[in-house]
Chain A
């Protein structure tokens, strides 16, 4: 059974048809990429999946259950975690605290427990802290744990966001342009990281403009253009696809 399944998903903003009848499935253990020119609707598609807003039409199934129209926090607690294209860390919180928020849906202490600081709360809090530190270590930024997250360098902020998303122990991770703004070393590091977490059993759906990264690591690629899916195939076949090449060459001409 597919882990994530989109069927005829549409999203309209007023007159703009940002996502137009997109269907595809993500199998467990896959790394799947969504590519397409700027404004193709990739982020909008992610937002429809993660519940930032509901799709205008169509359905999204996660683990066989419909999730379209659910609140984002409910979707998150079912095991879907994400990063943002334009990094969204919490200002005023340290890097560690940012990652600790990632463990929110894996912990339980409520208002009373927090106020009274019961022994169970104390233990849970320690567990949250330790696990969060582990994820910072995995990302190689454990030494930055106590720095204010939004004051870090760009690449480090991306790493914190990555760690935050992982701390939720998702079954499906949505990454929106994880390598944007990173240098080639950092990009290689991201590629390595994505395959590592896939090997740990986390399914990955990512949006990325860096073609070599996408071609290297993904098992399958979906191509969007003007909101529509125009191709879905293995990296090898996508590279041969004339329609895809036309779009990308066309875009390159316009961009350069």
Chain B
């Protein structure tokens, strides 16, 4: 039951923070906290992949972007010209399309956010599946470069495709009504409900993932990380679990992409950039790799500071520096029990001069 204590704590903190923000008339913080929550989804998913299955991905911003871009494109691109098409008639009769008025009063036709969301997430899952089969056979540098390459391709495609708005990205993305009265959007009035939607998703994800890592599969994943050969010899289908974890973490990234895009009302190619992927990796590393809560906490702190513009023009430099410092001095991350001992050893060793 100790497993559920952190979840309860998190729920309380989420509520308390919202109450404080309400009282002190600082609800504008909630906007950044909402965005932070969505980025945290990517981070805990990546943490599962890197920390537990031991596979690095330098392309997770790519999955975030697949979710965000597809959902944005489907909900904003006018399908009026194809109205006669049989396929679109069928989609329309299934209730997957909506008629709306654009700024100039003309009637336009879009895919509904629900349908767009599902299509986007499924696409991301499918791409992760197809990419994962060959990529996860690779190790170390090869895996890092292959996933980096994937990330760059997604970035290039976003940047070069008119349908995705090229350098401008996509804007005017409508809100995403989850349930009647509950809409993911940047509306001022919906700020508090959006904060709870986002953090509710984080809580749900943390619940599912922390149950997963303590299950038969989670144990197998940790075993793969420890000794792949011995895990295989005990009947663990390593290739399959790595692939499933890869797809799961891609789905989380894509879901985050969809929701954040609806919340922000749009997205640009920088969301697909390599620096974003590196940043996610950095946060997982700082959180301690195989440490979901560590990744979540570091993700919230750093993303929040970054979104508030705390690091100014040194934003990327700060992440680069943090990466190096952590990997040099505390390769097991900041938030774990052995950290003090580790640092002490480090200084003792250095005191004796290089070994």
Q: Does B217 contact A (CB under 8 A)?
A: yes
With known contacts A92-B226, A115-B208, A50–B233 Cβ distance under 8 A:
yes
B215 touches A93 (CB 8 A): no
A101 touches B234 (CB 8 A): yes
Within 8 A of B (CB), among A69-105: 71-73, 76-77, 81-82, 84, 88-93, 97-98, 100-102, 104-105
B211 touches A117 (CB 8 A): yes
B215 touches A113 (CB 8 A): yes
Q: From residue B221, how far is it (CB to closest CB) to chain A in Å?
A: 10
Cross-interface CB contact of A111 among B212, B229, B236, cutoff 8 Å? B212
Q: In the assembled complex, which residues on chain B have CB atoms less than 8 Å from the CB atom of A125?
A: 215-216
Interface residues on chain B, number (Cβ under 8 Å): 28
Q: Does B50 contact A (CB under 8 A)?
A: no
Q: In the assembled complex, which residues on chain B have CB atoms less than 8 Å from the CB atom of A107?
A: 216
A109 touches B216 (CB 8 A): yes
Q: From residue B212, how far is it (CB to closest CB) to chain A in Å?
A: 5
Of all chain B residues, the one with the shortest Cβ separation from A161 is B230
**Cα distance, A128 to B209, chains bound together (Å):** 20
Q: Does A157 contact B (CB under 8 A)?
A: no
Q: Does A10 contact B (CB under 8 A)?
A: no
Q: In the assembled complex, which residues on chain B have CB atoms less than 8 Å from the CB atom of A92?
A: 222, 225-226, 290
How many A-B pairs have beta carbons closer than 8 Å: the answer is 105
**Cα distance, A77 to B227, chains bound together (Å):** 18
B230 touches A89 (CB 8 A): yes
| Chain B contact residues, majority secondary structure | helix
Cross-interface CB contact of B229 among A52, A71, A93, cutoff 8 Å? A52
With known contacts A100-B219, A124-B216, A125-B216, A111–B248 Cβ distance under 8 A:
yes
**Cα distance, A245 to B36, chains bound together (Å):** 73
Cross-interface CB contact of B215 among A51, A81, A121, cutoff 8 Å? A121
Q: Does A164 contact B (CB under 8 A)?
A: yes
With known contacts A101-B220, A114-B215, A115-B211, A73–B237 Cβ distance under 8 A:
yes
**Cα distance, A52 to B238, chains bound together (Å):** 13
Complex interface bits, B219-261 against A, C-beta within 8 A gives 1, otherwise 0? 1101101110111111111100000100010000000000000
Q: In the assembled complex, which residues on chain A have CB atoms less than 8 Å from the CB atom of B226?
A: 89-93
With known contacts A90-B223, A109-B217, A73–B212 Cβ distance under 8 A:
no
Interface residues on chain A, number (Cβ under 8 Å): 39
Q: Does A168 contact B (CB under 8 A)?
A: yes
Q: Does B218 contact A (CB under 8 A)?
A: yes
**Cα distance, A29 to B209, chains bound together (Å):** 44
Within 8 A of B (CB), among A12-67: 50-52
Q: Does A116 contact B (CB under 8 A)?
A: yes
Cross-interface CB contact of B218 among A72, A73, A114, cutoff 8 Å? A114
Within 8 A of B (CB), among A106-162: 107, 109-111, 113-117, 121, 124-125, 128
Cross-interface CB contact of B216 among A77, A91, A114, A164, cutoff 8 Å? A114
**Cα distance, A164 to B219, chains bound together (Å):** 14
Q: In the assembled complex, which residues on chain A have CB atoms less than 8 Å from the CB atom of B208?
A: 115-116
A104 touches B229 (CB 8 A): no
**Cα distance, A50 to B233, chains bound together (Å):** 7
Q: Which of B216, B219, B225, B238 has the most CB of A within 10 A?
A: B216
B220 touches A104 (CB 8 A): yes
Q: From residue A205, how far is it (CB to closest CB) to chain B in Å?
A: 14
Cross-interface CB contact of A102 among B229, B232, B234, B238, cutoff 8 Å? B234
Q: In the assembled complex, which residues on chain A have CB atoms less than 8 Å from the CB atom of B227?
A: 88-91
B216 touches A93 (CB 8 A): no
**Cα distance, A71 to B230, chains bound together (Å):** 13
A111 touches B244 (CB 8 A): yes
Q: In the assembled complex, which residues on chain B have CB atoms less than 8 Å from the CB atom of A128?
A: 216
Q: In the assembled complex, which residues on chain B have CB atoms less than 8 Å from the CB atom of A81?
A: 233-234
With known contacts A73-B238, A111-B248, A101–B215 Cβ distance under 8 A:
no
**Cα distance, A92 to B187, chains bound together (Å):** 46
A-B contact pairs, 7 of them (CB 8 A): A50-B233, A90-B227, A93-B219, A93-B222, A105-B235, A109-B217, A111-B212
Supplied contacts A73-B232, A81-B234, 10 more A-B pairs, CB within 8 Å:
A52-B233, A73-B235, A73-B236, A89-B226, A90-B222, A101-B231, A104-B234, A115-B209, A117-B211, A168-B235
9 A-B pairs with least C-beta separation: A105-B235, A114-B215, A90-B226, A76-B235, A88-B230, A115-B208, A72-B232, A114-B217, A90-B223
